[in-house]
Amino acid sequence: MMNSQDTQVINLVADIGGTNIRLAITDKNNNINQIETYQCQNFPHLTNVIHHYLKEKSLLNARVNACLAIACPVDTDSISMTNLPWKFSQKQLKEELNLNSLTLINDYTAIAMAIPLLNDQQKIKIGRGETAEKQPIAVCGPGTGLGVANLVNINNHWYCLGGEGGHTDFAPVDDLDIKIFQQLKTTKKRLSYEQLLSGYGLEQIYQALVVITNQESVSPQPTQLSAKEISTQAIAGNCPVCQQALSQFCKVLGSFAGNLALTTGSFGGVYIAGGIVPRFTEYLENSEFRKRFETKGRMSHLNEEIPTYVITESQPGLIGAAAYLNQIV
């Protein structure tokens, strides 16, 4: 007698980072269920963790369509993860797991694809502007690096345009930007936005300000603080240099987000993702982020109309992978 699972069709989604892998089942309405999180270091290979999940959920005999969002390039059959020793062939992975279909997408493609599905409880609006339906959307995310992606709607389908926008040249705007730029240039041949808009970037801003401050003060500041320590001290109001560093971080982020808006005509909104900014959204709201976003000379009136949001949803990668999968299966 045929088991019902022999014909059961399952849509499997995953969000694979350098530390954790999240797996879930999705339906045609992009609902995410049966989320499980595993530590990557506990498994020798991606095949093992996916097999483990399917076995746990009694889905080894199901026909599985899988969409995996992964933090590395996915444009060739051979995949080598940036922060993990996992290497594999897409074709071989599909065969080993006996998948009905397999699609790999970049992690920022997944985050971008999630944006049209977010409700007001999954994002926080910063400043004015109103979303124009089906207009281009931009997303940037300070984290380990600075991820960037864009969404365009064609015939009611969303398509993600990836790239490496975080590596564009940093352009100083105010006097303190210039001082920070000059200080960092003493050790860097070139400064990209990622070198300021990331965890490492916040640390670099702080370290530059320490040098600048110590040149003008008889009370030297500690030179080594982590990004988390800097933001925590700034929010608590315990360290003037930390406050200045976080404020300047918010300003630079506003300038960069505003540049994205102008480049792509992002009247669907500009969204801030990543693990850093959601920790201090109130600080961002009270900073000059939005002022910098809007201050674009003769084009300021355009950016004044474009809304900016911080994504607060904890699983945008899974939601985006589901949205991507449901457009192709």
14 labelled binding-site residue: yes
268 labelled binding-site residue: no
319 labelled binding-site residue: no
First-to-last C-alpha distance (Å) of the chain: 29
> What CA–CA distance (Å, rounded) separates 174 from 120?
34
Residues in the chain: 329
147: left (phi over 0), alpha (psi -120 to 50) or beta: beta
> What CA–CA distance (Å, rounded) separates 267 from 150?
12
- Output the CA torsion sign for 158, 113, 143, 239: positive
> What CA–CA distance (Å, rounded) separates 62 from 295?
54
112 labelled binding-site residue: no
127 labelled binding-site residue: no
15 labelled binding-site residue: yes
CB 9 within 8 A of CB 63: yes
According to DSSP, residue 76 is labeled: S
The number of C-alpha atoms within 13 Å of 190 and in the hemisphere containing its C-beta is 5
> What CA–CA distance (Å, rounded) separates 285 from 127?
7
- Output the CA torsion sign for 235, 237, 239, 242: positive
CB 276 within 8 A of CB 142: yes
Annotated binding site: 14-19
Annotated binding site for ATP: 14-19
